[in-house]
Amino acid sequence: MEILQPMFGMIVLSGLLVMTLLISRIGPIVKFWGNLQFAEHSEDFRPQLPRRLRLITDNHNHLMEQPTLFYATCAYIFMAGHSDSFHLLLAWSYVATRIAHSGIQLTTNNVSYRAMSFGLSSACLVVMIIREAISLF
């Protein structure tokens, strides 16, 4: 069951970003109510947003991408009964580095630091997957 806790940590982070995205969109939606067709396609609308709102959108999108593989990996580890202290360390490290990634992207958006946190989180995830692949043989 413990491997589900870091998974829930990512769910909480994603939920917080969904709320942040919703709150950040209320103003523009109210302002342009009745005339929102210009926002029909995000690629047309995003360049018109202030930088802060673009960063929120970008981070939201990032949390809907790679973490889905993290959820599947944690679910697999749980169902296979392979949860151990090293998987937990990797899973919590993944969550911590994704929190750092979000914090960086939503504030300074320093791409070098963001890339480092992305690389570290990706490494944690890949090691989890490799460990499970090795257990099949």
* 8-33 residue pLDDT tens: 999 999 999 999 999 998 887 788 78
Its pTM stands at 0.91
Report the distance separating Cα 107 and Cα 91, nearest Å. Answer: 24
Spatial distance between the Cα atoms of 66 and 53, rounded to a whole number of angstroms = 21
Q: Which stretches within the chain are classed as H helix?
A: 4-31, 42-45, 51-63, 67-80, 85-106, 111-135
pLDDT at 110 over 80: yes
Domains of the chain: 4-135 (1.20.120.550)
pLDDT tens, position by position, 32-53: 787 777 777 777 777 778 899 9
